[in-house]
Amino acid sequence: MNRVFDRVNALSAVRFVELFGPIYEHSPWIAQRAHGHAPFAGHESMLAAMALVLEQADEAEKMALIRAHPELAQRMGVDPTLTSASAAEQASAGLDRLTPDEFSDFRALNEAYAAKFGMPFIICVRRSDKQAILNGLRTRLENTPEAEQQTALAEINKIAALRLADVLERLEHDV
């Protein structure tokens, strides 16, 4: 992996953002700012730099990032803003294969969540399944808005960690 980070650390800012900008949903500004923290020793230090950028972002930027995430379990093909990464992640949890009853449950809970918090429900679906996601929706509806924002940002960092690992693995094989 050190050869990969030799390559990563040698990237121009533009190329760095091209490769790592999609890690945070529709928010390349995180990669752009994280580039200033290079050189990176490895995956963990790069991820820590990106998490620090997010932590230091203002409230408007954080909410824009949260709201850039798609609603879970929409019918595939309905959301034109759904990135290929999000579509694959949702499919990995079976959200592209819901029964009519499951879809109805997701729709009702997503609507209640959005009405209460003004943002989409975010969970690292690659580390979950349909039932755990539904249970998470039900449980997290009890959170305060402040607690839910922090939970959403923590979940976004989990998603970013997995996406970063995917990009680094592709780079490792692109020698």
Q: How many Å apart are CA 72 and CA 110, to the nearest integer?
A: 8
Both tokens of 140, joined, read 């997290």
Q: How many Å apart are CA 99 and CA 109, to the nearest integer?
A: 15
Segments in the chain forming alpha helices (H): 2-10, 13-20, 29-34, 43-56, 59-67, 84-92, 100-117, 130-140, 145-173
Residue type, 57: A
- Among 26, 43, 69, 173, the active-site one is 69
Q: How many Å apart are CA 138 and CA 77, to the nearest integer?
A: 26
Q: Is 26 a catalytic residue?
A: no
Catalytic residues: 69
